[in-house]
Every structure is written in structure tokens, then in C-alpha cells.
Chains A and B, each alone.
Chain A
Amino acid sequence: MRLKDLNIGLQLRLGLGLILVLVALLGALAWQQADALWQETRRLHEHPFTVTRAVGDIKASVLAMQKGMRELFLAETDEERRGIIQEIEAQATEADRQLSVVYAQYLGPRADVEATARALAQWKPLREEVIGLLREGRHGEAASRFKQVRAGVGQEILERVQVVAEFARQRAERFYHDALRHKEGLFNRLGLVLAGIILLTLAISYLLLQGIRGPLRDLTGVATAYGQGDLAARSGHASANEFGELALAFNRLLDTVQAQSRRQENAVRLAQAMLGQEDLRAFCRDLLQALLERTGSQAGAVYLLGAGQEAFEHLESIGLGAGARASFAPGEGQLGQAILSGQVQVIAGIPEDTPFVFATAAGDFRPRALMTIPIMAGGQALAAVCLASLKGYGPEALELVGDVLVAMSGRLGGVLAFQRISELAAKLEEQNRELETQQRELSAQAAELSEQNIELEMQKRQLDQANRLKSSFLANMSHELRTPLNSVIALSGVLERRLAGAIPAEEHGYLGVIERNGKSLLELINNLLDLSRIEAGREQIRPSTFALPELVGEVTGLIEPQAAEKGLELRASLPTGLPPLYSDPEKCRHILLNLLANAVKFTDAGHVEISAACQDHSMRVVVSDTGIGIAAEHLPYIFDEFRQADGSASRRHGGTGLGLAIAKKYANLLGGRIAVKSQPGQGSTFTLTLPLSLPGPNGGQAPAAPGRGCPPGGQMGRGGLAAGTSQQGLGRRILVVEDSEPAIVQLTDILAGQGYQVAVARDGRQALEQVASQKPEAMVLDLMMPEVDGFQVLGAIRSAPGTANLPVLILTAKHVTGEELSFLQGNNVHQLIQKGDVSKNQLLAAIAGMLPPRPGAGDGPDLGGMLDR
């Protein structure tokens, strides 16, 4: 572990502790040295000094005893002598005590001390001798003895003492020098230790300082740099201690601040991008661009909840394939569900078949993650932004989106509202302009109208009047009207019979007139009642099976007298073998009666003919006359009620003019129709066409229709001259090649209606199969089909031996190019027909025209008959 990594507290504690230890060491050292000095001093004091002092004392005692001896000589009284002797004794004791001190302390040779002791000990008997001499009064002797002793022993003691003293002095000298040396060593050592401690302390504080100041300076530098805009500035300090932590925390703080400010900046940029556009599309594009840039996405799309609120529709996208343009319902698929949640979501684990692929020149890539951002309004997702990333999304992307979500929702809502308002304004404007244009037309018409108005009013008054008349007239046609009329007729009949021969013939004839007019009046009333019944929808159909010739016979029998009366020939030419009819015989009778009566009525000379023929599933009954005919301008109204060709004719020929109207209405009721052709002055031809079998009310055919369709031999003349559009393709096999369902239905409808056997192929491949398997007699071919198209089909057919000559009619919506046209021509197509540029009859004629003659029929289809218009 490096020192740098040490805890700062530990560092400080360690440093200070070290210094403390050093100081203690220093103290101990000083203590120990002082103690050594003290020992030295005590030795100095205890030995040489004590010895010297004791030697001095011994000397002093010796000198004092010598002085006492001398005084003893001078003493006159015993008293004095005793005193002095005592003194001398005391001094001697003292000298002995001192000697023992010297003995204890003296460091020099023991012999020195012992010599001194011996000298002292020698001196004592000598002294007592002197003292005894003195006491005996022998002064002289005493004096000489004294002189002797003094010179001998006294001197020796002093000398001996001197030796000891000298030694002690020398010893003291040596001790002093020792101490001096000692002191110097001590000073040196102390100095050294002190210097060491100072250096160490300096080093420690340097190190400590360094450990604190370095990171501090580093951090300060970073803070300053960051403050001055260097956002990448980070502390490079790394250690395991508090500063390391501080640096880390500081860096983390900077990171957070920087991330924060980057986020803020991103949010601001995004907000700017969002503010730039008012147009929805442009806005979404800018928004996407900005979002992609700032969230690290590579592609994205905006979806808008459609007006029906059931699907999100693609509005704008960047970088995505066509799959992302598909709409999806809320809750549908991964996207739909994520949006339904109402939360910003990141979806990872994008499945293989996601529509969300990046479309790039190098191919499609699947994203790693998607982010879905629902734009909510009123608790509902109005729109959704989806972003896709190849790398996935980090938390910053989510945070950024979270930051701008409210602004984004608000803004998008605003733009949407703006868009709606502009659309509304545009629509209003459009409506206005159309209204204005309409207005202009209308006011032009209004001018015209005011002219017409008078005329119209006149018309209206007349119409009203007529209507009123008609309704009151009808109202009165009741049974009450018929009852008296019936009795008039019946009674005039009775009278006519009874009075025959009883009254003059002329008057008898009047009775006949009364009866006839009564009958025609009754007929009129009945007709009117019929008509109103039909109009009221109350007419009932009572079908049954009957033979037409019988009915015709019945009707001609009824009309015959009228015809004969006018001198007209009434012919009926009915082929044998006509199939029975299943229809309402009463209504049929009515129709035929009306047609014949009408013909007789308007024919003054010549004949009236009724003929019948069967055609496939219908019966045609033709009533022709050689009468006055009908002018072209009246033809359209000939079947209207209360109309006859013109007023004058009506007046001349009598009748109510209701007959034809009723006939037509009945014919229609029976599922048939009546057509008229006429040349004024040459007569008219009314053709009644009735289905052989009355279509049942529930669409089914009636039960009793044996042998529906005409027996082969029963056809009239040459196969229906005016057959027009019906049944020309009986049983012929046509293959329709077409891929559009409505077109198929329409074509099969009209072709089947003509009796063709229609097979359908819905694409080129099917067409080829069916051509091979079913061998159709002709083919209607569309050109535009998926996969194998019409051209290919045609090519394949023409190159196969069996079908090289199969008639083909091209029916297409395609605008063929010159090249295609020459291909078609080269492949022998019967005709090229543009859909929409042909009438129904033209189309049918063309189809009929391409069919080869029916095997065995001998002659080709009668085109003239088919193009009847």
C-alpha cells in the first residue's frame, strides 16, 4: 500500500505520533545524559572533595594539636593544662574520624592512608610522653622532646597528609576533565538527535502537506476549468483515501451536472425543433429528426390516431421500410400494446417479423430496441412516436424523452389543432366557392325560372284540376255505380229479348244500343277499378298452367263480332306444339283482349292478326293490325293512362284509353313486357313477351312447367327474328379469364343471361389449365393479371396445337401500347375491347361474333339480329 493511499486521518495521526515519539526520545536522551552528568558530579563530590576536605581537616587537627602542645608549655596552671589537653584529645579524635573518611573515600593507594594513620598513631604516645614530662614539671625535657616529636612525627603526618591531598586533587582534576568530555559528547549527541528530529518533522509535515495540497489543488483546478466551460474537465486524482473519494464524488457530481446540462440542452434543442413548424408533416419530420439525433436512434416514425379512432396511421417516418407504413389498431401488436399502456416504453427483443426495419442500401436491419412514446390527450393516445435504435436505449434517452414529453404532447396537440382548423378552413372555403358557383348557376336559372314560372303555374293549375277530377272520378267508381248499371244492362237485355218483333225494328235496335253502351260503360268502370287495384298493389296473381291456343281462341271469339262488325279479318296463326304457359290466365286474357280490342278499335280496314311463338324461356304473342298507326312523338306515351295517340283519335274511336295501360301493367305483373312498333298509316305491332313460367314470389320457378324452354321443332320461322339480345349463346362454352371479382360477376351475369355456359379462370395459370381441361369454344381474356398475365396466356394458347385457333376476345382496362397491340394482332385476337368503352349489346355481339358456327347449325350467328339497336 502506498502512503498516498493511506487515510488522511491515519496519515496525520501517524505523522504526529512519530514526532511525539521523537520528542520523547529526545527527552529520554537528555534525561539519561543529565543523569550521567549527575553521577560524574557526585563522584567528583564524593571522592576527591571529601578526601581533600578530610585531609584539610586532618591537617588542621594536627596543626591544632601542635599548637595545643605549645600552649601547654606556656600554661601556668594545671587548670589550663587540663583544658588544653582535652582540646588536643578532641583534635586527635577528629583527626582519626577524618582519617576514617579518607579511608572510606580515597581512591588512591591504600598505603598512603595507612602511612598517615600509622604516623598519627606514632604521634599519640609521643604526645603523652611530652604531656607526662610536663606534668612532672620537666619542662626542658618536655620542650626538647616536643621539639623532636614535632620535627619528626608531626612533620611526617603533614607530609603523608599532603600526599593524600595531592592525589585527591589530581583525581578531582581527572574527574573534571571526564565531565567536560562527557558534556561535549552529550551536546553533540543532543544536537544530532535534535537535528534528526527537526528533519524528520519537516519531512513528515511535507509529506502530509503534499498529501493534502495535491488533490486539493487538482480539484480546485478542475472546478475552475469546469466553471470556465471546459465541461470535459475531470479530476485525475486517484487514491484509496478520502481525497480519492472526494475526487470520485466530485467527478460524479460533474458528470451529473454535465449530463443534466446536456439533457437540458437537448430538451431546449428539441423544444426549438418543435417550435419551428406549424405544418403537421413538417413538424413531425423536424421532431423526428431532432429525436433521432438526441436519443441515439437511427429511425423513427410518427403515427396519428385516424379519424375513426380505430387505427394509428402512419404520418411520417425516417429511415424505415415500407412495413412501418402499415396502420395498426391500439392494442394490436407490440407497438399497439406499448402505446395502449400510455407510458413511454422501450421494447427490446424485436421479433424476426417486425415491420420495423431499417431500410438501407445494404438491405434491411432489425433494430435492437424500439422506444414508443404515446402522445396523450384526455387520457387517450392521440398519436405515437416510435423510435428504433440499433444499439438500444440507455437511461439518458428515456430521461430526455421524459423531460420533453409534456412539451411534445402539448405542441403536437397544438399543431394537430392548427391542422384541423386549417383543414376546416380550407373545406369551408371550398364549400363556399362551390356554393358561389352553384349560386351563380342558380341565379341564372332563376331568371329563366321566373319566365317559366307563369307557364308552370298554369301547368300546375291544370294538373291540379285534372288530378282532382281523376280522384273524384275514381272515388265514385264504386260498386254502387256498377250495380245500377248492371241492372240497366240486364233489363235492356230482357227487354230486347221480350220485345223482339213486338216493337218496330228500329226501336228494338235502340235497346241493343242501350245494352252495348251500358256494357262499354261497365268495362270502363271495371278497367278503372282494375287500374286502381293495380296501382294500389292489391292485384293478386293466380297462376295456373294453361294452353295459349285455347286462350287465344277464347279471346278471338270474344272480339270476332266487333271485327266482323267493322268488316275486318281477324287472323290467328299459332304454330303447333307450343308449350303450355304457367301464368295467370285471367290476366293474360285481359291483356290479349285489350290488345285485340285496341287493334280493332284503331283499324278501319284490313285485318288484325294474332300470332305466337316460343323462344327459349318466353312466349311472344304479336298482335298486329293495318290500322292508322301511331305517330313517333306519341309512341313514348302510348301506355300512359288516359292517353290515346291524340285527342281526336280518342274521340273518333271511343274508349277510355285505359286498355293499353292496364295491359302493360298486367304484363309487367306477370314478369313480361309489351313493346310497340308502328308506322303511322300502316298499322301497329304490339309484342307481348311473357315468361313461359311465372317467376315465383320467392324466386323459384313454378312447379308445373313441363319442358321449360321451347321444343326444338316448335320454333317459329328462322330462330326469332327480332330476338334481339336474348338467348343467342345457348349452351355455348365460354371461358372468362378475369381477376377482378366485380368484373367476373358482371360478365357471368350477362353471358349466362344469354344462355352461355360460362367458366371462370381467375388468373393466367388457371386459364391455361381450364383451356386444356374444358376445351372452351371461345375465351374472353383480361390483360392485367398478377403473375401470368393476359399476354402470356395468349402466347401460350397460340403456341399449343389444340388451341391455336381458339377465338379470343381481349377485354381490358389497360391502355395498350403500340408494341402490345402488334403482339395481340400477331396472335390473332378476335377483337380488342376497352372496358368502359363498349355498350352491353356491342359486347354481346362481339362475343357472339367470335364463336364459330354451331356445329351442324349450318349458318353463322345472325349478327344483324344481335345488333338490333
Chain B
Amino acid sequence: MPGASQLDAIISLMAQAHGRDLSCFDQAFLRKTLRHRLASSGSPNAEAYAQRLAVDPQEAEALWRALGITYSEFFRETLTFALLEQLVLPGLLQEMAELGRPELRLWSAAGAAGQEAYSLAILLEELTAGRGQEAAFRIFATDICPDSLAQGQEGLYEAQALQNVRLRHLNGWFTRQGEAYRVVPRLRERVAFSVHDLLDQRLASPAASIYGDFDLVMCSNLLFYYRADIRGLILDRVGRSLRAGGYLVTGQAERAMVEQDQGLRALAPVTAVFRKADQQG
């Protein structure tokens, strides 16, 4: 495993030779990824690997790609989605009706190929089904990986990503295409995909959403890849994009990271669903 000094050397090397900033990543994650690249590239040790990195732009690219993990699933964390389905989303819908807000605004930040966004869309569609009119919600799905976004736009997934999808949902919202499944067009229309870098300091919300004001933001399985201070910055910005009383949903594993945030309160002790303080009561 690369030592601390080697890690630093590789970070500065990547920045200087290839213009890639690795310093924002969590060290343990960086180590793990480096170890993996080291093995795949057949370098005997960290030094040799660093030397190779310096001269081989392809390996640099491979390393960079390996750091951008885009793995995702539909309804990935069952508990979280159960909570969303049973509590959070119905509450939001009711609140929307009460307050006369025109629509719910949701954002899947770093949502990879839209698995998360489509899961939300399915739940909302079903919760609002039978109301006669078109359900009023708007989901923004963003990521920094354009390939993932393109896949999301196309709505085509391998069966593996759908293992948590209930049979009823599978039948209702997907069509089978060979080995793969495609999200039905109706659902695809509900999700707007765009590129958004959560590290971008200028923007708190994706440009496509213009002004944020989200009722719910999902930002899961992303924070732990980043250094603690970066996480803080991301959370800060995501928090700003929420309306008062809006919800932030993270991965179970990231619960502890958000719990320290002042403006956010966990919905229940073990969940990764947080609520922004609501000044109005």
C-alpha cells in the first residue's frame, strides 16, 4: 500500500502532469483505488507505479476513471426508500397541497445514471396515482459523469441494477429489452438530467433548476469518497439548495457525516433522512 509520502507524491504528480486534482478525495479511498490500479497495471510497487503515472497519460486516465465510481441501483437502500415512501414523500405531497405550492421539486445530486431519480419518480407517480391530474413534481438528476447521464437519459439498465425493484414496479415502469430493462417513456419525461459538479463553488443548485428551492435532495454514496472538509462544503451547498423544511437524504453510511450539520435534523435516529430547519413551524 502506498505510504503517506507516496500518496502525496502521486497527488501532486497527477495535478502537475495531468491536471487532475486528487487531493479532495478521502485518503483511505485513494489508497484503496491506487492499490487496485497498481495491481491492474502490473506495477510491482508504488514507486514504479508513480513513475509510470508520470509518463503514461493513459494510466492517469484509468486512475481518474477508477476514482469516479458510478455504481448505483434502483431503490438501493431499502430502509431509506421505505421511509421515503411511507413518510417523507406523502408528507411532502400533503404539505404541497396545504401550502398551495405548485409542484414538488426534487434533486438527485450525484445520482449516477438516474437510478435514484427514477426510484423517486416511481414512488411519487404511485403516490399521486388516481388523483386524476398529472402529478406535479419535478426531478433533477445530476452527476459529473456525462456517460452516466447519457445512460440515464436513455433509461436502459442491466438487470443487476434492478434487484431491489418490486415486481409490481418492474412490470409497471420498465420494459424488457433482451437482457436489459428500459424505463418507460412516461417516467423518463419526469426526470431532467444535467451535468453538475458538486465541487463547483459557484453553484449551490444545478443550473437547470435555476433557483433550487428543493423539497428533497438525495445525495448518497458520494460524501464518503471525499475528504472531511470537502464533505462539509458539499453538505453546505446542498443544504442551501433545500427550501426550509426540505429533506436531505444520504447513504446510510454517510449518516454520521451529516449528523454534525447544524441546520439539519435526522428524521429518526437510525435513518439517513434529514430535515432542514423550518422557521415557520
Q: Do A and B come from one complex?
A: yes
A residues within 8 Å of B by Cβ?
306-310, 427, 429-431, 433-434, 436-442, 444-445, 448, 452, 456, 459, 635-636, 638-639, 667-669, 671-676, 691, 695, 698-699, 740, 742-743, 745-747, 749-750, 753, 811, 813, 815, 834-840, 842-843, 869
In the complex, the 7 A-B pairs of residues with the closest C-beta atoms, listed nearest first: A813-B207, A668-B98, A441-B253, A835-B207, A840-B213, A836-B203, A309-B178
Minimum CB–CB distance for B182 against chain A, Å = 6
Closest to A724 in B: B280
Residues A840 and B178 in contact, CB atoms below 8 Å apart = no
Q: Which residues of A contact B225 (CB under 8 A)?
A: 437
Per DSSP, chain A at the interface is helix
| CB–CB A839/B211 < 8 A | yes
A638 to B272: give the CA distance in the assembly, Å: 25
Task: Pick from B36, B154, B256: contact of A433, CB below 8 A.
Answer: B36
List 10 other contacts, CB 8 Å, given A309-B180, A441-B253, A813-B208: A307-B177, A308-B156, A433-B36, A437-B26, A671-B98, A742-B208, A746-B210, A834-B202, A839-B240, A840-B211
Find out whether the CB atom of B100 lies under 8 angstroms from the CB atom of A695: yes
| B10 CB to nearest chain A CB (Å) | 17
Let me know if A456 and B98 touch, CB within 8 A.
no
The answer to whether B269 touches A456, judged by C-beta atoms less than 8 angstroms apart, is: yes
Are B281 and A837 touching (Cβ within 8 A)?
Answer: no
Contacts of B192 in A (CB 8 A): 742
- Among B27-35, B41-49, B165-173, the one that faces the other chain is B27-35
Task: Give every chain B residue within 8 A of A448 (Cβ-Cβ).
Answer: 256
Beta-carbon contact of B253 and A445 below 8 Å = yes
The digit string for B199-218, where 1 denotes a CB below 8 A from any CB of A, is 00011111111111100000
User: Which residues on the A side are within 8 Å of B102 (C-beta)?
Assistant: 749-750, 753
- Taking the closest CB of chain B, its distance from the CB of A653, in whole angstroms, is 20
Knowing A429-B36, A430-B71, A695-B100, the reply to whether A444 touches B256 (Cβ < 8 A) is: yes
Which residue of B is nearest A444, CB measured? B256
Q: Say whether B71 contacts A434, CB under 8 Å.
A: yes
Instruction: Given A668-B98, A840-B213, A842-B211, check contact A445 B269 (CB 8 Å).
Output: no
- Can you name 12 A-B pairs with beta carbons within 8 Å? A309-B180, A438-B224, A438-B253, A668-B95, A669-B98, A674-B281, A675-B280, A740-B208, A836-B206, A836-B207, A837-B205, A838-B212
Contacts of B204 in A (CB 8 A): 836-837
CB pair A638 B69 closer than 8 Å:
no
The A/B interface has a contact count, at CB < 8 Å, of: 152
Contacts of A452 in B (CB 8 A): 269
A440 touching B36 by the CB < 8 A rule? no
Chain B 3-22 against A: per-residue CB contact (8 Å), 1 yes, 0 no?
00000000000000000000
Interface residues of B, count at CB 8 A: 62
Contact (Cβ within 8 A) B180 A433:
no
Within 8 A of A (CB), among B140-176: 154, 156, 158
Asked if B61 is at the interface of the complex by the 8 Å CB criterion, the answer is no
Are B213 and A308 in touch, CB under 8 angstroms?
A: no
| Docked-complex contact B210 and A747, CB < 8 angstroms | yes
Return B134 CB to nearest CB of chain A, in Å: 11
CB-nearest residue of chain A to B67: A433
Q: How far is the CB of A428 from chain B (nearest CB, A)?
A: 9
A740–B138 Cα distance when bound, in Å, is 15
- A742-B192, A834-B202, A836-B204 as given contacts; A307 in contact with B178, CB under 8 Å: yes
Determine whether B82 belongs to the interface, using a CB cutoff of 8 Å to chain A: no
Contacts of A309 in B (CB 8 A): 177-178, 180
Are B178 and A437 interface neighbours, CB within 8 A? no
B47-89 contacts to A, CB under 8 A, are: 66, 69-71
Shortest distance in angstroms between B267's beta carbon and chain A's nearest beta carbon? 13
| B277 neighbours in A (Cβ, 8 Å) | 636
